[in-house]
Amino acid sequence: MVRVGVDDTRPGLQAMTAAELVRASKAILLDFDGPVCGVFAGRPASAVASQLRRLLADRGLGPMAEFAPNRDPLKLLSWIGEHHPQHAGAVDDALTAEETRAVESAKPTAHADVVIKAAVRTGRPVAIVSNNSGAAISRYLALHGLADEIALIVGRAYADPGRLKPHPWAVEQAVQGLDVRADDCVLIGDSVADMQASRVAGVRAIGFSKGDFRGPALTEAGAEAVIDDMGTVEAALEQT
């Protein structure tokens, strides 16, 4: 486990290691792309973004779409939501179809499956809290025999990219859906947006950084601890 820092700016919070945060939790929220799998391992995100840009060109938005982000399909969806919201539904539909195809060749993150199973075994419901589509997440979980282990899937709000993380909507939905207190939950995510959404929702957060370069940014954004291996979470759960 790598522990690069502790957020001590919130009153009343003691510095805790990732293992302590996991053991103290009553429910676990997992970001999908990163902690559970690499969604675009087999079908690159840049190819998906190109597909979406073609769709925009077909709808007469080609010249405008030159200003849209190139490689990240979720950023492109956000751009559409901001500048051409009347097309957000069509883009979301196309992205959902692409993601649902992409998860068939997604790369499972090491130890993610055993983390999910150990959480359930130790009485902690697991929710997926993601900017990806719920349909794609469901498909992945079914393909990997994990559907029955997951208590709740919160994918992105349809055609409403303003509610993508860092907006706290998805985290708040998970807390309400699991019927737990926010501060009894720990979220594990690999992006700054995950940490920011958790912080606003009052959920404790662990950063997952497979490369070490993201750790400081995750800490800065509110991660109380940073791990580089999901096996750390499994080991903590096995000790409860």
What residues line the site for Mg ion (CB under 5 A)?
A: 31, 33-34, 190-191
Residue closer to Mg ion by CB (options 34, 155) is 34
Give yes or no for a contact between 194 and 154, defined as CB atoms under 8 angstroms apart: no
Q: Give me the residues paired with residue 225 across strands.
A: 206
Q: Give me the residues paired with residue 136 across strands.
A: none
Q: How far is the CB of 190 from Mg ion (least distance, A)?
A: 4
Which residues, other chains included, contact 65 with Cβ-Cβ below 8 Å and sequence gap of 6+? 53, 56, 57
Find the Cα–Cα–Cα–Cα dihedral 57, 61, 62, 63, rounded to 10°.
170
Q: How far is the CB of 144 from Mg ion (least distance, A)?
A: 17
Q: Helix 192-201 and helix 169-178: axis angle, to 10°?
A: 50
Residue closer to Mg ion by CB (options 56, 116) is 116
Residue closer to Mg ion by CB (options 125, 189) is 189
Q: How far is the CB of 100 from Mg ion (least distance, A)?
A: 17
Residue closer to Mg ion by CB (options 65, 153) is 153
Burial of 92 (0-12, 13-18, 19+ CB in 10 A): buried
How is residue 183 annotated by DSSP?
Answer: G
Q: How far is the CB of 132 from Mg ion (least distance, A)?
A: 9
Give the nearest residue (CB) to Mg ion: 34
Residue closer to Mg ion by CB (options 65, 74) is 74
Question: Within 13 Å and on the Cβ side, how many CA atoms surround 80?
Answer: 30
Q: How far is the CB of 32 from Mg ion (least distance, A)?
A: 7
